[in-house]
Amino acid sequence: MERHVKENPSEGQSPVTDPGHSVKCSPVVIDDVLLNGTTLDIPAAEEFIHQSMAIIIEDAVKKATDVREKVCEWRSPDQLKELLDLELRDGGESDSKILQRCRDAIRYSVKTTHPRFFNQLYAGMEPYSMVASFIAEALKPSLYTYEIAPVFTLIEDAVLRKMMELIGWEEGGDGIFNAGGSMSNMYAMNLARYNHSPDIKEFGLSAAPRLVMFTSQECHYSVSKAAALLGIGTKNVYVVPSDKRGKMILSALENKIKAAKSEGAFPFMVNATAGTTVLGAFDPIEEIADICEKHNLWLHVDACWGGAALMSKKHKHLLKGIHRANSVAWNPHKMLMACLQCCAFLVRDKTSLQLCHSSGASYLFQQDKFYDISYDTGDKSLQCSRKADAFKFWLMWKALGSIARHYAYFMPEFSNVCFWYIPPSLKNLPDGPELYEKLHTVAPVIKERMMKTGSMMVGYQPHGDKPNFFRMIVISPQVSKQDMDFVLDEIHRLGKDL
């Protein structure tokens, strides 16, 4: 093939020798492709980043946390498609247009840092973890080997060790930050299964008996998803009833385990929840640990929501017995307000993660490296590319010290506040099916109105045989008494005609 080579007319100067570095070749164009030259205009890129950061500070930080601003500027999907011009074209747009795209993306997004955002199990602005997020995104590390992410590998190790200390594992353990609490629960199930039937790693499900696990009816939905994904099967997740407070009933757990054994199944794991999604309930971990020891079952504690209580002397009793768990899931991006995502999976055994997940990829995990390869953590992970999420928690922890002092103010048992709003038209109805049927329709209408008004965001859902109720999550220390009063007044304003 004939090649057409020419010097880039705009880069025709002689190469400049940089002392201590090799001489750079002049850029050339081969078959209309620029070689030996940068395709990025560095000064222009820096200016664009400066302008973008100004927009982020003004619109995504200052305005998004201003109680006088809207929580969201609601548009329907069709309206938003028109406003955002989502089509991707062959030609690029000018920086001025791209900056406007940034403004629009911020404008029409939900402001989860707003003081009147109570919709999810995360909220509020945490500046130190936000800065850590910016740094991590700018550097683009991936935590599979020490050589590619030396600083962040050591930071993750330090954070995990401190979290294990708070759990109470005096001899340490192992752990990894990953892509979410759902992933952590899947890690736990996979390790528990490997602990029971290690041959599964090589021979698959044919090497396993019918394995059964146990969890409360208030557990996170990721438990059944993990069972489906791993081939355990959702029918082999035995659901244990909870009491009125949302806590697992211990006698029912015992009965479920005995029933499974009588069926010829093999119980291998119990999932306890520390801070349930809806009611904020804490399963009795100490007593569940007794049962697990009796039946030789792996105990996993899903503390994605409630793990923050370990950092509070006043509230850590909620997780009494967690030191006896085999594994723990804990999300600092929830109650502790680290920027999403920030999710730790911790395991008491120091070798399980490596033994269960290692594949020994020779292009990454060479055994003859010039440094301590124990810091190459990627082989024990289900992921390859992995973000430096621990850095967000580490930087805010370094800045704030004992973080829990900022949050303990809000916790009765925990910060899930569940309530009904009964409009005037229903106040005279007696307690019964007619009231529940009509009450069930109230929260969805009020939610629609608050979203379209943009005044606040509070979630709702049914629970068992209970009609729809509001589930208000109070996390951010930016929330004032006036904001709490506003919620009640605004719900009444939006729903009093129903």
pLDDT at 468: 94
Average pLDDT over residues 451-457: 95
> b or e along 415-439 (b: 16 or more beta carbons within 10 Å of the residue's beta carbon)?
bbbbebbebeeeeeeeeeeebbebb
pLDDT at 413: 54
- Residue pLDDT, tens place only, 184-240: 999 999 999 999 999 999 999 988 899 999 999 999 999 999 999 999 999 999 999
* Percent of the chain residues past pLDDT 70, beyond the cut: 91
Give the residue among 341, 340, 342, 335 at the shortest CA–CA distance from 477. Answer: 335
Minimum mean pLDDT range among 72-76, 264-268, 465-469 = 465-469
**What's the token pair of residue 438?**
């009509």
- Residue pLDDT, tens place only, 316-350: 999 999 999 999 999 999 999 999 999 999 999 99
Q: In whole angstroms, give the CA distance from residue 420 to residue 426.
A: 12
User: Structural domains in the chain?
Assistant: 5-35 (no CATH), 141-400 (3.40.640.10)
Q: In whole angstroms, give the CA distance from residue 178 to residue 206.
A: 29
Q: In the predicted model, is pLDDT for residue 260 greater than 80?
A: yes
Q: In whole angstroms, give the CA distance from residue 498 to residue 496.
A: 6
* Phi–psi pair at 405, nearest 5 degrees: -60, -25
Q: Exposure of 27 by Cβ count < 10 A (0-12 exposed, 13-18 middle, 19+ buried)? A: middle
C-beta of residue 194 within 8 angstroms of C-beta of residue 355: yes
Indicate the pTM of the whole model: 0.89
| Average pLDDT in the chain | 90
pLDDT at 178: 96
Which residues neighbour 70 within 8 Å (Cβ) at sequence distance 6 or greater? 111, 454, 455
DSSP letters spanning 110-156: --TTSTTEESSS--S--HHHHHHHHHHHHH---TT-TTT-HHHHHHH
Query: Would you call 263 helix, strand, or coil by DSSP?
Result: coil
Q: From start to end of 199-297, where are the E strands?
A: 211-216, 237-240, 266-273
pLDDT at 478: 86
Which residues neighbour 363 within 8 Å (Cβ) at sequence distance 6 or greater? none
Which residues neighbour 494 within 8 Å (Cβ) at sequence distance 6 or greater? 446, 449, 450, 453
Q: In the predicted model, is pLDDT for residue 309 greater than 90?
A: yes
